[in-house]
Structure 1
Amino acid sequence: MSLLEASSRVAILGGGLMGRLLALALARRGHAIDLYDAQGPAGEGAAARVAAAMLAPLAESAITEPGVVRMGQHGLKRWPELLAQLDAPVFHQQNGTLILWHRQDQGDAQRFFGVLEKNRRINPSLPAMQSLAGAELQACEPALQNRFTQGVYLPGEGQLDNRQLLAALVSTLEHMGVKLHWNSPRELCDFAPGTAGQPDFVFDCRGLGARTQWRQLRGIRGEVVRVHAPEVTLQRPTRLIHPRYPIYIAPKEDHLFVIGATEIESDDMSPASVRSTLELLSAAYTVHPGFAEARIVEIATQCRPTLPDNLPAVRLLAPHVMEVNGLYRHGFMISPAMLDVVLELIDEDGDSALAREFDVAVHRESEHALAAH
């Protein structure tokens, strides 16, 4: 039995990545969708707007759980299918990830790769890392021009352009007749699903906007710099082992690069600090001197919605309400898997084999119990 009858009226709260993907999937099933968001169509309040959108389950296995890694592997297969449903092209590549380090950081690199290898033994479906040196490294990434003597290549990993994706989702939703309510914040208490004149079902995908419902939700601050660097021709996301944290450089189309790293336990949404910006830009310069002449397009900050265990979760409220939250720093990597979990929960009357496969917590709670969280 499905939680949604055919041609149901559905309200979705939160027009970030998860809300847009869910709206598209449900609209394609023939449901009438109203999507509400507190900000505009550009996703100004969404963590998805300030992201590198890397799809890197092996690289991320160093800081997350095996279930999230499995979700990332699922996402690598699902993203081409999801992108094919859009009416505008979105930059997407699967050229792998390159990891580099300076000689003085050799010890940190060895520890990092030890963690990756351990996680690959736990999940043997992950591809093997490939150590590169000399001519092999130069052939993999000619733009490095022998500035590094060693590297490690993680095959199969990918990325996409987050802002192209958000825009393409909006355009497709408009063409499908989804009612988009921008600058229209809503709370769950604004709806009485299943009653006369109300939606049949409500999905809450608001991220940090849902803290009135998820009392333990917190923000993890991230800072990224977007630069235009015509002299740089990196062919894939590149990560640099750093004494304090790994730095990434994600090349998009037309020599646009997203550079980031910082992860701060804070809900602070103020502009990026001078220290963080200098560290990001100086690290990028050590990878390629062409970044010295790059033009800074944007320095942005945002907080990612994070639950105490840093893992995503779904809650089923009676009657006719489902909440999805806690995608943390893995939104683009795991959102296809979370979407498929939600669709399976709908189709199987609140049950999901995928949720068990991915270790996604699915809570079934009464409104009274939720009020105590």
Structure 2
Amino acid sequence: MPLPSSSFAILGAGLMGRLLAVELARQGHRVDIYDAGSPAAEQSAATVAAAMLAPLAESAITEPGVVRMGHHALTRWPQLLAGLAEPVYFQQAGTLIVWHRQDAAEASRLTRQLEANQQKVPELPALQKLDSAGLAQAEPALAQRFAQGLYLPGEGQLDNRQLLAALVVEMQRLAVRTHWNTPQTPEAFRPGTPGQPDWVLDCRGLGARADWRALRGVRGEVVRIHAPDVTLQRPTRLVHPRYPIYVAPKQDHLFVIGATEIESDDLSPASVRSTLELLSAVYAVHPGFAEGRVLELATQCRPTLPDNLPAIRQPRPGVLEINGLYRHGFMIAPAMLDVALDVLNTGQSELSQRFDLALELEPAASATGAVAAPACA
């Protein structure tokens, strides 16, 4: 049963906050959104991201539930983007994985792992092994540079910054009341009382650590390069003995390159070591990057829970917390959105069980009349 017309205060205008604001406003609800930053989302982890939608590739470092979330997103993202007034670059041409000869043993181990993971989530397309001829056909720019590769069909990517900007336009169009440079906490609201919102949705990421103490930051470093001499058809990952390098091609020869994952809340500039490793690795993928221009070298910390899995919890009636998206924000955001909407509409979510998503919900009736029944997956 649809949620009765309600009022919402959303805390945090990163990826999750903006998606929820737009979907709830489309359903006819009154929405206020608060953020410590500006519409540019300069404080959001979503701004410093490659926005790859690669469930099988990511299965090497995450659980099957997250992989199923990623598969769900490959259908949901086109639907979500179709409703936006502003265009957002979206591509679903698969993922390519390549390696140098000295890393063949690590590539074999990764191949076995991905094949086993595909069996656990059989709805995913099976990977394809490429010889040098197949690799040259799939990605002509890499012809004769690599002897073998893997092709993961159906995987995709989008432009994170175009999306964040398009969601701001959509919020304006839907009369969402935006409060930029206005940080708020759940304690500032009394949901369900006169003059207060019916629901508070906390999507602050690491900004919520005072209320969700298990959160920690995992630092990532990303380079954005404009390289007119390089043309790649799809995201490409390079097997590396210490960490996999990814190269995500966006529009107009813009490339987002990353790999580093450091257990730290440090938001200082990227280290010389990380910068040298990223740039040398991307040059190894294609020498045309040598003549590219480094547009940005950015760092950000991703909100992460102890098990590296996302979660939704309701600490008190009328307050819902959504957090822990870790490095998979764009890949799992549509699934998290749909589960949150289920919870708001019905007090529970069958989808959460499909995704093995932890829900901690209060049994008390909410201010809007929907009953939040206990649900754990």
**Which band: TM-score by shorter chain?**
over 0.9
1:207 aligns with 2:210: no
CA distance in 2, matches of 1:204, 1:87: 26
Q: Distance in 2 between matches of 1:218 and 1:340?
A: 25
How far does the alpha carbon of each residue in 1:112-139 deviate from its partner, in whole angstroms, 9 at most, with x for none? 1111111111111111111111221111
Paired with 2:318 and 2:60, the residues of 1 have a C-alpha distance of 37
Distance 1:133 1:114 in 2: 17
Partner of 2:97: 99
Let me know the Cα RMSD of the aligned residues: 1.2
- Choose which of 222, 238, 241 in structure 2 pairs with 1:240: 238
* Amino acid of the structure 2 residue aligned with 1:358: F
Q: Secondary structure at the match of 2:260?
A: strand
User: Which of 125, 135, 142 is the aligned partner of 2:123?
Assistant: 125
Q: In the alignment, what sits opposite 2:371? A: none
> Residues 317 and 362 of structure 2 are in contact (CA less than 8 Å); yes or no, is this contact kept in structure 1?
no
Return the offset for 1:254: 0.4
Cα distance in structure 2, aligned partners of 1:366 and 1:25:
25
Match runs of 1:6-45 below 5 Å: 6=5, 8-45=6-43
Mapping of residues 276-287 of structure 1, within 5 Å:
276-287=274-285
Q: Find the aligned partners of 1:55 and 1:278 in 2 and give their Cα distance.
A: 26
Q: 1:365 deviation in Å?
A: 4.9
CA distance in 1, matches of 2:362, 2:261: 32
State the aligned residue count. Answer: 364
Unaligned runs of 5+ in 1: 368-373
Deviations 1:191-238 (A, max 9, x none): 111111111111000000000111110000000000000000001000
Q: Which residue of 1 aligns with 2:351?
A: 354
Look up the match of 1:5.
Answer: 4
| 1:141 pairs with one of 139, 142, 145 | 139
Distance 1:366 1:272, change over 3 A: farther
Residue 364 of structure 1 deviates from its aligned partner by: 2.4
Q: Structure 1: which 4+ aligned runs deviate by more than 2 Å? A: 364-367
In the alignment, which residue of structure 1 is the partner of 2:87? 89
What is the deviation of 1:5?
A: 2.3
Structure 1 stretch 118-127 or stretch 322-331: which is displaced more? 118-127
* Cα distance in structure 2, aligned partners of 1:134 and 1:10: 55
- Give the residue type in structure 2 aligned to 1:359: D
Letter in structure 1 aligned against 2:116: K
Alignment match, 1:330: 328
For each residue in 1:79-126, what CA deviation from the matched residue of structure 2 results, as whole angstroms up to 9, or x when unmatched?
000001111000000000000000000011111111111111111111
d(CA) in 2 for partners of 1:136, 1:204: 47
Q: Point out the more displaced range, 125-134 or 259-268.
A: 125-134
The CA distance in 2 between the partners of 1:206 and 1:366, in whole Å, is 24
CA distance in 1, matches of 2:131, 2:303: 39
Whichever residue aligns with residue 359 of structure 2, its letter is V
User: d(CA) in 1 for partners of 2:363 and 2:334?
Assistant: 27
Residue 342 of structure 1 corresponds to 340
The code of the aligned residue for 1:322 comes to L
Distance in 2 (CA, whole Å) between partners of 1:256 and 1:160 is 12
Further displaced range: 313-322 or 329-338: 313-322
Q: Structure 2: where are the runs of 5+ without partners? A: 365-377
For residues 227 and 358 of structure 1, the distance between their equivalents in structure 2, rounded to whole angstroms, comes to 35
Pick closer, same or farther for the CA change 1:269–1:366 going to 2, 3 Å: farther
Q: Who is 1:266 aligned against?
A: 264
Query: Which of residues 109, 113, 116 is equivalent to 1:111?
Result: 109
Amino acid at match of 1:265: E
Residue by residue over 1:338-362, the C-alpha shift from the partner in whole angstroms, topping out at 9 and shown as x without a partner, is 00000111121x2110011101100
* CA spacing shift, 1:188–1:37, aligned 2, 3 Å: same
SS at match of 2:259: strand
SS of equivalent residue, structure 2 residue 129: strand
User: Do the aligned residues in 2 keep the contact of 1:317 with 1:366 (CA within 8 Å)?
Assistant: no
TM value normalised by structure 1 = 0.96
Which of 45, 48, 60 is matched with 1:47 structurally?
A: 45
2:102 alignment partner, SS class: helix
